[in-house]
Structure 1
């Protein structure tokens, strides 16, 4: 669950507040519903195909290997870029304490540290995650405690419960829903990362699906609670700083020391904890695709460290790409591409669920209709609705990435006449 940082609202609270007229909790509720149907598709596929590779494996088996490769390629645009984005966020926040600090240099340092930890292996990764997760949870509940005192005891902010953070009928419309939902999607990206660790856990057919649903539900609840309390504590949204809104609210309810503490905790959590997991996920996707000889440099990517048994070259490549992105691309461009990759990949996954389980395997009946047709179709439709809200620049860059993947697939399979690989359940 730590792949989706429990403190993720700190990343976008100010921007989402302004776009949603202060209804941030409503936006997170909508996002949770959107992701729930996609999580069901992940859970269903994980039972049949417990293999590292995630979307790449599921779509490859569900539709065909060529579409599976393109789905994995789309996923790469998400997970290769996400570590750079997380580290840039960390640098931005830390510059609030040290204005003269070089944001990009700090981001590069974070990327290199996480790469070294991931090379050491999943056990070290788990220990670091557990510690940082506990720190985030403690910080979250301290924030909620301060907010409760501020609102319900001191009578400040809204001075009590209010429905406004969830419902303002004069402002709700379809454009608002699509725009705001796309902005908070980044906070939910990561629950699917659990499926990429399938080859490293016991009994993945049972564990991975349940873990995916639990991670999404728990994290969504944390997002809702803290965003609602923040909304109650600060009445109004027009004066919020888009980048530092949650930190400013932390200062308002807990003072200067709490403000500084929350910046430091978020920097470590996002720059280390989230980046660790996303980097781990993408390295295993690269390894899986290299193992199946579907991308240039497959021999290089499928190399395993002799001592730590981790995909060392895939991790190194991920670090190199992140460093290049940090030094050459602005944060908003990276953010747009991460969201495009996530939504597009989720659309394909939901479509694959319908095609494979409902039509190919003919697993129908009452339960089959809901879980193999209706629910994934709803997931596909909601993702398509959010996808339609991307701007022209995002679509151009996103499709350019997709076309490059199609060209690679065309070359590797001699015009798609050969399968080119066999997905192996290890």
Structure 2
């Protein structure tokens, strides 16, 4: 197995995660029941072709996962796309990629906490949204501080619980369909000729990909994996594939049973709780409550737990390379985790989550920003594969090192172009700020330099 010492680093984090741990981590990060929370929005934008939106989202992420797997083999270190683009192309490009995906990684815990807190507030209104948010943040921070093995054990339990809830919904939904309660044709969730256009499909896919974000988080645990780099990459592909099957099946069933389809397609009426209304239509109020509470716990505890862990590893990797403040590179001697980065993520999530809870469309704004940051970083990842393998290594594995990244790049461009305009503006502004920070670094004589480049 490759070691990080050859790249100029010391092994500080604990190598304790196996293939199953990594795959489960990715599944939890993606959340097997993730479509529950955004089903209505995807349904509205796709004009009912919600399963097709997830299939297109899968294609975009599948090519990206294959590129991740190639770069994980070349550079088995923490840092995800920041490390891969920085070493695959150049350190300044790595900084920009890391800066772009920070928009995803730093904001996504806030989004998860906010969605979960709002859901729990509807069931237990005596505790305000900010109160639930504080509880979720404190709980996850304690678990992550206790070490990656504790996080891995908790995620296994949560994964089983989510799969049980999903199985219940699919069984009840299947019975409802068998009883003739379908509200539309069997293939309408995949294709509706009167509504189909590639603009509609890619616009919906740009929201649906939120459910897939997380497979890449596996790469941030490269220095805590006891597997070789090849199996690390395979765990990403496996997690993505399993999640995709679950996403398409559950959205297909839900789309067939969605009541008041015309109102939802026309104006997004009650898009926020569309899935829970569908669950109630299929099985009664108990199923609606079960799926809503499961969504709250999955997003607010399980998913945000691993999101916080992944974000802290990205900050740790960038700080270790002196591209962020050095205090973020501090590792707890006892628990072998990036302790300061973990606490910083918790603080940002708490403050930003509470602030966005006061805005009318805080959840929608955060969702768009998270997706833009990730897609931009993934574009640079595909370029890195071509530069590192084809240009530098003279690889003749045309499929893995040229065709896959080029196709992935083209699909992601189509997704980004069809994203929310406000998200495009804010996302581009974030990238401009990153370029300014990079320029200041150069002007002050502190250009990004990776350890192995130091003479």
TM-score range relative to shorter protein: over 0.9
Q: Corresponding residue for 1:127? A: 153
Tell me the CA shift for residue 12 of structure 1: 1.1
Residues 1:209 and 2:233 aligned together: yes
Instruction: Give the superposed CA RMSD.
Output: 1.8
- Alpha-carbon deviation of 1:117? 1.0
TM-score w.r.t. length of structure 2: 0.88
Q: 1:418–1:84: structure 2 CA closer, same or farther, 3 Å change rule?
A: closer
User: What is the CA distance between 1:369 and its match in structure 2?
Assistant: 1.5
Unaligned runs of 5+ in 1: none
2:19 corresponds to: none
* Deviation at residue 413 of structure 1 after TM alignment: 3.9
Q: How does 1:21-420 map to 2 (within 5 A)?
A: 21-99=47-125, 101-152=127-178, 154-158=179-183, 162-234=186-258, 237-240=261-264, 241-295=270-324, 297-298=325-326, 300-329=327-356, 330-364=362-396, 368-414=397-443, 418-420=447-449
Partner-residue secondary structure (3-state), 1:95: helix
Is the contact made by 1:21 and 1:237 (CA closer than 8 Å) also made in structure 2? no
8 Å CA contact retained: 1:39, 1:212? yes
CA offset at residue 229 of structure 1?
A: 1.1
- Separation in 1, partners of 2:150, 2:407: 39
So what's the TM-score if we normalise by structure 1? 0.94
Residues in 1 aligned to 2:420 and 2:181: alpha-carbon distance in whole angstroms: 39
Q: Distance in 1 between matches of 2:196 and 2:306?
A: 35
On the 8 A contact 1:291/1:302 being kept in 2, the answer is yes
The secondary structure found in structure 2 opposite 1:96 is helix
Instruction: After superposition, give the CA deviation of every residue in 1:325-367 in whole Å (9 maximum; x if it has no partner).
Output: 1122322221111011011011111111112111221101xxx
Is contact 1:412-1:420 (8 Å) kept?
no
> Is the contact between residue 217 and residue 310 of structure 2 (CA under 8 Å) also seen in structure 1?
yes
Give the deviation of 1:109 after TM superposition: 2.1
Q: After superposition, give the CA deviation of every residue in 1:140-189 in whole Å (9 maximum; x if it has no partner).
A: 1111000111111x221248x71111111221112102210111111011
**Alpha-carbon deviation of 1:234?**
2.6
Looking at structure 1, the residues matched to 202 and 125 of structure 2 have their Cα atoms a distance apart, in angstroms, of: 35
Deviation per CA, 1:75-110: give whole Å up to 9, x if none.
Answer: 111010000101111122223324565223312321
Deviation by residue 1:223-243 (Cα, 9 ceiling, x = unmatched)? 011111112223652345211
- Retained in 1: the 8 A contact 2:112–2:300? yes
Question: Does 185-194 or 262-271 show the bigger shift?
Answer: 262-271
Contact 1:57 1:423 (8 Å CA) reproduced: no
